[in-house]
Amino acid sequence: AQTVTQSQPEMSVQEAETVTLSCTYDTSESDYYLFWYKQPPSRQMILVIRQEAYKQQNATENRFSVNFQKAAKSFSLKISDSQLGDAAMYFCAYKPPRQTGANNLFFGTGTRLTVIP
């Protein structure tokens, strides 16, 4: 079974500062997909960023970027210039390659991010 580990149950960051959330995963596959989702107090899951394992370049979406270390099976999320609206639960998720026939996501247990004004 796939496992996704988020070792930081809670993190905090000062507004306008930078924070990094950690994620590691376990897989024997070489071609897969990784995601970070945000779940604010409304509990709606929002896709933040995605990374294809075959791409060496780290994905970036505005203030959000990832550090994808394939050999280490690590996928951390960096939030720059943190804003109050970034406060939420953040989930790391893994999707197996298409040829396995598995389309579902495997989620970590989440990291609760608090932004301090």
Partner 1 sequence: DGGITQSPKYLFRKEGQNVTLSCEQNLNHDAMYWYRQDPGQGLRLIYYSQIVNDFQKGDIAEGYSVSREKKESFPLTVTSAQKNPTAFYLCASSPDTSKGSYEQYFGPGTRLTVT
Residue 84 three-state SS: helix
- Show contacts with partner 1 in window 53-112 (CB under 8 A): 91, 95, 98, 103-105, 107-110
Whether the Cβ atoms of residue 45 and residue 91 lie closer than 8 Å to each other: yes
What minimum distance in Å lies between the beta carbon of 33 and partner 1?
Answer: 5
> In what helix (H) or strand (E) does residue 68 lie, and over which residues does it extend?
strand 64-69
Q: Which of 28, 43, 71, 84 binds partner 1 (CB under 8 A)?
A: 43
CA 64/CA 61 separation, integer angstroms: 5
Residues that bind partner 1 (CB under 8 A): 4, 9, 33, 35, 37, 42-47, 50, 91, 95, 98, 103-105, 107-110
